[in-house]
Amino acid sequence: MNKTIPYGRQSIDEQDIEAVVEVLRSDWLTTGPNVESFEGTIAGFVGAANAVAVSSGTAALHAAMYAIGIGPGDEVIVPPITFAATANAVVFQGGIPVFADVDEDTLLINPERIREKITLRTKAIIAVDYAGHPCDYDALRKIADEKGIVLVADACHALGAAYKGRMAGSLADLTVFSFHPVKHITTGEGGMVTTDNPDYVKRMRMFRNHCIDADFRQREEKGAWFYQMVDLGYNYRISDFQCALGMSQLKKLPEWIQRRQEIAAVYDRFFVEQKRVRSLQVNPNVKHAYHLYVVRVDDRDGVFKALRSNGIGVNVHYVPVHLHPYYKQKFRYGEGLCPVAEKVYGEIISLPMYQGLTEELQDICLQQLKALRRTLDGENEQYAK
């Protein structure tokens, strides 16, 4: 057989399929009752007043940048160790993503580095809960309040995570989630922004529908055909059957996070013995949602090649965003901007981590890792060729 074990994948059961089919048989395929229900369910789950569902996590980031009024020349502070979409959303609105380096032990944005990057043009911070570990929101809140800037959380890795007992989704002014199949729960493609701010909600609901002002009273006055586009928006709508899938998936999330934590504990125990491997630090005041399980190894490229050629679908999250050719050319960014991220980038590898990874499958991963013991342990080095 020898099928590759991926680093992440979705779980879909018969309940999920039934939930989708039921909507396909109904009157609403898009923007129907399931969109609102999904928004309400997610808002309730994370403890936010409101949620706005959109067509992807990227659309959710873009909507958040629109909601807070990011425009040409505005600076938004982002970490370099994230998916490119975090920074791209700033550029979509004409803003400038300013990279603040990460903490070496957690790979989360470092509050000290944020302070150094704040200027009179800084409008917001986007904190990324890398791997599913919430950032230090007390420190971030303090900076945001002191400087009068907006705190946005990219919690695409962190649905179900918590910081000091508070859920991801209620820790920042706006929080973004993704429902791509590799994330905790999926709608195929999909995203959500949670917030307590009713003005942001109004702006994002318009933005996902071409910024068409749906003021019904105005329509009645001028005739039923009348509508106005008041700003430039997009079609970022999510369909009704996707939201039905999302609600069905969400029921299983607590159980799935528990399974992810068990898998992480098995890896943790294994790597304690390996002298040349560093697991990422987990702070005591968080509930880690383990979207990813990332370790640092000296010979990352060698380990990557060996595991890939033996059916373990390891990956690297992420190429530091400021090193992509687009960012080098457009903003004149490059090597040396974020030294910690650049160094750690050469060492990180993401191991298989998803709720469907059985004990047997994880065992196969561990067997392959054991075969690399010389590289990972450093003992018996004298015998290594």
Ligand X SMILES: *Cc1c(COP(=O)(O)O)cnc(C)c1O
Site residues, ligand X (CB under 6 A)? 56-58, 82-83, 85-86, 128, 154, 156-157, 178, 180, 191
CB of residue 57 to ligand X, shortest distance in Å: 2
Nearest distance from C-beta of residue 236 to ligand X, angstroms:
11
Nearest approach in angstroms of CB 51 to ligand X is 15
**Smallest distance, ligand X to C-beta of residue 377, A:** 32
For the chain, state the CA radius of gyration. 22
Q: Are strands 122-128 and 150-154 parallel, antiparallel or unpaired?
A: parallel
Contact 261, 161 (CB under 8 A): no
d(CA 187, CA 132): 19
Q: What is the DSSP letter of 82?
A: S
Tell me which of 117, 123, 147, 183 is the catalytic residue: 183
**Cα angle for residues 83, 174, 197 (degrees, 5° grid):** 160
d(CA 79, CA 126): 8
CB closer to ligand X out of 130 and 271: 130
* 8 Å CB contact between 147 and 122: yes
Nearest to 349 by CA among 288, 286, 302: 302
Q: Inter-axis angle of helices 359-370 and 253-272, to 10 degrees?
A: 20
Cis peptide bond upstream of 354, omega within 30: no
CB of 175 to ligand X, least distance (A): 12
Number of other CB atoms surrounding residue 150 within 10 Å: 22
Contact indicator for 103, 110 with CB cutoff of 8 Å = yes
CA proximity to 280, closest of 82, 99, 103: 103
Q: What are phi and psi of 379, to 5 degrees?
A: -75, 165
> Which residue's CB is nearer to ligand X, number 62 or number 276?
62
Is 82 or 274 the residue whose CB approaches ligand X more closely?
Answer: 82
- Nearer to ligand X by C-beta: 314 or 372? 314
Residue 51: φ, ψ to 5°: -145, 145
**Nearest-CB residue to ligand X?**
57
Active site residue 183: yes
Smallest separation (angstroms) from ligand X to the CB of 63: 12
Q: Which residue numbers are catalytic?
A: 183
